[in-house]
Structure 1
Amino acid sequence: MDNTARKFDAAAPQLRPTPQPQTRPVPSARPKTVAQPQRVPFSMVERVLTACIGLATVGIALLILSTQFGLASTTRTYQNLQTKITSASDRVTNYQQSVGELTASSRLAAFAQQHGLTVNDGNIKQVTK
């Protein structure tokens, strides 16, 4: 019979493999010893290197802080100078405007009339560059 198809009989008991009970290992008379981790002491070279690295770290941190404080101080000084320059530029502009207003020809003519002065065109010289 080469056919793999079989007739299924529901009433017939099916054979299942029975599970085998697991056997526990029997503890031996001697308990197993587990190696406890032990601390390895630092050698003198490792201590010196650790101290040097610590000092270098502290030194670099202090250098960075010093640089930041210096940069903040320089920035503050720069801003103060910029404020002074802006203030001086504003004053110069105001002075130039005042000079322009004081030397206006209409103002000079009005001042001359108030004080009884007249313009003599023969005394006026033209200067050109």
Structure 2
Amino acid sequence: MSLPPDPPLHFRLHVFICTNRRPDDNPRGSCAGRGSEALREHLKDAQKRLGLKDVRINSAGCLDRCGHGPVLVIYPEGVWYSFATTADLDEILDAHLVKGGRVPRLMVDDPAKPQ
């Protein structure tokens, strides 16, 4: 028995940004404690300004990559990025969301980096 075909993608790309907040004294830290909420707003504003209607940017709870935080993941590819500044996000926006490329220096799981 074969599976029916998948429906078309509702969004070309779907970005989930961890905005989980833990207490400041938690040893794992949290993405929100590292500024992810304001950085998410920056990325949403830039995406809207560019008219990327086929890209959705969402907040997410803990994505369990706290050691790399703040983090985001882009689907359907499943590419993870660690970012710290609006410049990092602007680079991800241009290279990945607009041009379909990657930003290896910000990738959490860059295959070119030694593990």
TM-score interval for Structure 1 and Structure 2 normalised by the shorter chain: under 0.3
The structure whose residues are more often strand, as a share, is 2
Q: Give the TM-score taking structure 2 as reference length.
A: 0.20
Work out which structure has the larger RCO, using CA pairs closer than 8 Å and 6 or more positions apart in sequence: 2
TM-score w.r.t. length of structure 1: 0.18
